[in-house]
Structure 1
């Protein structure tokens, strides 16, 4: 944790197995006849999974197309012709790499000079395959937290089977080995941050009462080297109904700021600065994002209007102020960036001396570099290709150089290197074209919602596509948590769908972040139906334009997108011929009691509150499916090891629909976590299953 503070959507990656076992034991008796399927590893439940897997796999894998797609997908996933994206620590550039010889992966490093070569030499830091074999564990690498500025010690997160919960171990970067008697934590959802080489902030499962209802750390302690964990000093205790609490350290040059983050709900927080006088709460809007500290300037991104005296700072603005002035109670902010109605801030990152702001203008990226000098901010746009997605990567607090990834639907990723000394960008590495993009084109259209709002969506299709309503079309959506769906290159979409004659559509519906906080907030809680109606309108617009027709239209979504497609499939089953519902939320009465579900009540509402359940129940797929309605043959997928969205959602929905007499398919990977796949082989298999199903449903 250096100049910026992780907030907001970072919560999505901090869930854990910790609450998986308690789901059944701590809940009052339910009249839900399928609740036994929430016993993730219960004998009866796993027998049910095996039976349904056998049926679906037998059906889909018998199709000739499955074997063809699986082989092609695996070749892509295992290809060495991938960009080895890097993060910079000190003089080294680190990368995690999987291929057919190393399915669990290699954590490795190289120098900048070497990295610029076409085939750089890599120094292996940790071999996950060797470690897994030695320890007889199904280890999946889940990232590291390294000690600034020397980076000679790291905390490595290892997951069993791809779950979000991790075992944490201290690693010596010089010896390239785990530290005997070093900092270690057993499997849990933990939050750790280095204070110094011998001291950590730690939040983990300390025992009864130490976790929030969402399954995140409630208690923050300071842990000294050599000290038993139970002896660590408590420095902060949040509330049981908080989402998560954590201690963090932010570095700005030689300055070090110790922060306590209290996540009140998914979108609001209190942040405390550790001072000589104890913890001091920052006076800021609870829903604002603390974007970091650079050159003594605190950066805040507003999610709602903020009025101070006679001045109102607009929603979505990026503000700055001297951190010393701010902590002294002053509120003289500078407006660094105030986006217009067509623009949103996609990301804020930092180098040694600059702030890099990626924006979206009608869902296409632009990149700006901001510099603070003599009390003022100046900026310039970084010259990059248009009409695509830009992602800043490989930044360092010690340098002003950085990497930029560019891609669009038909252009593979290219990694640009910005050389601060030369003030120029150049392509350093590029992906090959995994499919021939020349026959295809990309269009952006806008469907008009009932309230007049223009809902953008992208179409990728053959240049000679005839608009006769006969084109097999797959519509993808998400619509939640202020997540923006941007133009991206997907070899599997190209090979598995476009080359089979399909049309691909991507919907930028409300609930996402494509046009900033207001676009997201328009579909929160009681307004959730707006996300669903936007998606339905895009589907209808595809039909009205004669791109496709009801019997040629399929939809796909995962996680919150699984809720999206599950809901619209029950609302408008007549509109679709195929539905791919992956790692979904579906039982919206119990979502807040399953795994990390309580953390999402800021998005959906609290189903235990009667007033809020009254609107949630109108769309909860599990409660709206019935035996008298004809539904498309839905394909549900999930993972036993998904400790973010409970597999019970998909299991129960399938069991209920099966008993109602509906025809459907179900596949549960026994590994894979929330991503649904733990390695390249599983990813190749999952996508081959999905596109075989879609071809079977939509293509003649």
Structure 2
């Protein structure tokens, strides 16, 4: 039985006077177990006066503390200096048109550019920075017609997942009158002749519930340009399973729609299809067993090329024929390398795989015959390598922990990559180094971890060390470059990434190793990473900080409640903290595939044991903690962080600060303007250094 009680009399007087937070006598019954929820009232929308007043009071204490940390403004200035360089996105071609993104340095949002034909000068196609004074309107989804004449783009405000779709004529730069609402998650696409759009729509929510109401009954609609949205045509809905989720995707011809169907309780997916030119034929149930992952790659007539984990935990490629109706045949067998992405370009199957969380690109003929492994600049991460089956070339980006994203052009005929764009940094990266180590978790599992720092550091336990993790939803954490991380390292810091179970680094089995009742494995892996760093004298418990966002915020919350003495600082960002009620808000029900359901007896007890909110214990010394969230986060609603922070402040008896930083007009993280990002990173680094006994340098 978990007895997470509220704090009684404090053992030591807190150094900070926290706002008084009222409690309510609310008890829920789960399978005969009475569970207290004294901060239930903080689940109300931020617009409710008593919640708004609580947010204001907490932020006053938090920002009052952060602003007094010596050197904070100096750190903020240096972070801004380092990110102030020109950055480009990977180009995509549509007919004669090439489209890419660019940021001049400190622009809040990336700008979309178009090159009308080879050799032409680029011009601005879409600049989200002009749509709001504070940079909080962001691009959230984009599609371009195959002829390069029409742009579909989605806009989100204040970090919300809700999207409004707009259509722009690329030649003139003028928008059509259409505005399509009630869509979410950036799922929208143009039809074959760009006369309309397919989009994912959710029922309208009641006023004041946009950031709390559960998102159920997703439906796929078609909007004909030039008509009212009220006349939009329903393409498909799951009447028999309103709590399931469907995600549409078009094939290369845009005449066939794939439907990814997800039962929230199952980590696999069903795959169906609709021939949009013959809709009277109904839905084709391509893979209806819900026993593996099924991802369409390419369609050639009645042949469907599928990337699947069926009998292949690391993934394989097979082909099924919906006319011949013979058993699907495997054309590319699984290997020890994990498939991360698949595309068909130049009539070649291009597979991005991971080898110990590092990228490789393998190219095959459509019959599965191996051609080559593309030579990459180093052991890092690749993005891109997409396009159409008729393209003769492609672009991709490469980055690692010490190399910023460089864009390469790849020619299929010569099998050569050439450097296309390389950023010019305002600082030297040659003084940093990265390595990968493997350590044993509690059950003996070998887990990889990247460690990055300045060359020549001393392993004497004195280094402020930041351990980052995620470990969920089959998401893989591969090397990426961060300008803020270089600042951290120049302040003497060590930065570490633990590729714990629950992620996708080693395929299906690695993901399933931390599913539902096995979630504790992810936390054991992370705790073991911390113990490795201490044992190898990178740091001590006092100089070790842990950080993670979203599911990673849950990770940090679980670890700091299970082993509070192991960490000096904890930074749980936009975390899922109430594991008994996560499925009640917005898209939370979809997470049951990873977490399990409180309605299931066995899964309830597993969730109760790990839930950060429910495992805070009275009269306990917790690490210095900076909880972060945002008032308009409609992915992981801020109530998770509100309740956790309130209970933590009541339970904590040490002198280390336990604060909550609540961003205004921001969401889960995507589309957050650079100005807000810089302020948040400044606060996090300042907080960590100050609470590990370190100082921000007088000079960088």
TM-score (norm 1): 0.86
- Pairwise mapping of residues 454-493 of structure 1 onto structure 2 (< 5 A)? 454-493=446-485
- Counterpart of 2:614 in 1: which secondary structure? helix
Q: Which residue of 2 aligns with 1:248?
A: 249
Alignment match of 2:676 (pick from 679, 682, 686) = 682
Alignment match of 1:109 (pick from 108, 111, 114) = 114
Q: Which residue of 1 aligns with 2:7?
A: none
Distance 2:105 2:397 in 1: 25
Check 1:226–1:110 CA distance in 2 against 1; reply closer, same or farther (3 A cut). Answer: closer
Check 1:438–1:123 CA distance in 2 against 1; reply closer, same or farther (3 A cut). Answer: closer
Distance 2:60 2:201 in 1: 38
- Bigger helix share: 1
Matched, 1:66 2:64: no
Q: Which residue of 2 aligns with 1:91?
A: 96
Q: Which residue of 1 aligns with 2:260?
A: 261
Distance 2:633 2:94 in 1: 31
Aligned length: 646
Report the RMSD for the aligned CA atoms in angstroms: 2.8
Distance 2:249 2:338 in 1: 27
How far apart are residue 188 of structure 1 and its match?
A: 5.2
Check 1:478–1:63 CA distance in 2 against 1; reply closer, same or farther (3 A cut). Answer: same
Q: Which residue of 1 aligns with 2:580?
A: 589
- Counterpart of 1:518 in 2: which secondary structure? helix
How far apart are residue 397 of structure 1 and its match?
A: 4.5
Q: Which residue of 2 aligns with 1:571?
A: 562
Distance 1:46 1:86 in 2: 43
Alignment match of 1:172 (pick from 169, 174, 177) = 169
Check 1:138–1:184 CA distance in 2 against 1; reply closer, same or farther (3 A cut). Answer: same
Distance 1:213 1:337 in 2: 43
Matched, 1:346 2:340: yes
Once the two structures are superposed, residues 35-56 of structure 1 have per-residue CA deviations (whole angstroms, 9 ceiling, x without a partner) of 2222233222122112212221
Once the two structures are superposed, residues 345-384 of structure 1 have per-residue CA deviations (whole angstroms, 9 ceiling, x without a partner) of 1221232412211111122221111222xx4533211111
**Which structure 1 residue ranges, 5 or more long, are not aligned?**
1-26, 116-120, 306-313
How far apart are residue 264 of structure 1 and its match?
A: 2.3
Check 1:434–1:561 CA distance in 2 against 1; reply closer, same or farther (3 A cut). Answer: farther
Distance 1:466 1:101 in 2: 35
Q: Which residue of 2 aligns with 1:198?
A: 195
Check 1:129–1:82 CA distance in 2 against 1; reply closer, same or farther (3 A cut). Answer: closer
- Pairwise mapping of residues 536-575 of structure 1 onto structure 2 (< 5 A)? 536-575=527-566
Distance 1:585 1:114 in 2: 49
Q: Which residue of 1 aligns with 2:596?
A: 605
Check 1:179–1:547 CA distance in 2 against 1; reply closer, same or farther (3 A cut). Answer: same
Tell me, yes or no, if the aligned pair for 2:28 and 2:37 is still in contact at 8 Å: no
Tell me, yes or no, if the aligned pair for 2:408 and 2:421 is still in contact at 8 Å: yes
Distance 1:655 1:327 in 2: 60
Tell me, yes or no, if the aligned pair for 1:365 and 1:388 is still in contact at 8 Å: yes
Check 1:237–1:161 CA distance in 2 against 1; reply closer, same or farther (3 A cut). Answer: same
Distance 1:680 1:31 in 2: 40
How far apart are residue 112 of structure 1 and its match?
A: 7.5
Tell me, yes or no, if the aligned pair for 1:389 and 1:406 is still in contact at 8 Å: yes
- Counterpart of 1:291 in 2: which secondary structure? strand
Q: Which residue of 1 aligns with 2:274?
A: 274
Distance 1:206 1:450 in 2: 45
Check 1:240–1:279 CA distance in 2 against 1; reply closer, same or farther (3 A cut). Answer: closer
- Counterpart of 1:174 in 2: which secondary structure? coil
Matched, 1:218 2:228: no
Q: Which residue of 1 aligns with 2:23?
A: none
Q: Which residue of 2 aligns with 1:418?
A: 410
TM-score (norm 2): 0.86
Q: Which moved more, 1:363-372 or 1:97-106?
A: 97-106
Distance 1:91 1:185 in 2: 31
Once the two structures are superposed, residues 284-327 of structure 1 have per-residue CA deviations (whole angstroms, 9 ceiling, x without a partner) of 5523222321545523233342xxxxxxxx33232221x5x245
Tell me, yes or no, if the aligned pair for 2:128 and 2:135 is still in contact at 8 Å: no
Distance 1:349 1:661 in 2: 51
Tell me, yes or no, if the aligned pair for 1:435 and 1:494 is still in contact at 8 Å: no
Matched, 1:385 2:385: no
Alignment match of 2:139 (pick from 138, 141, 154) = 141
How far apart are residue 34 of structure 1 and its match?
A: 1.7
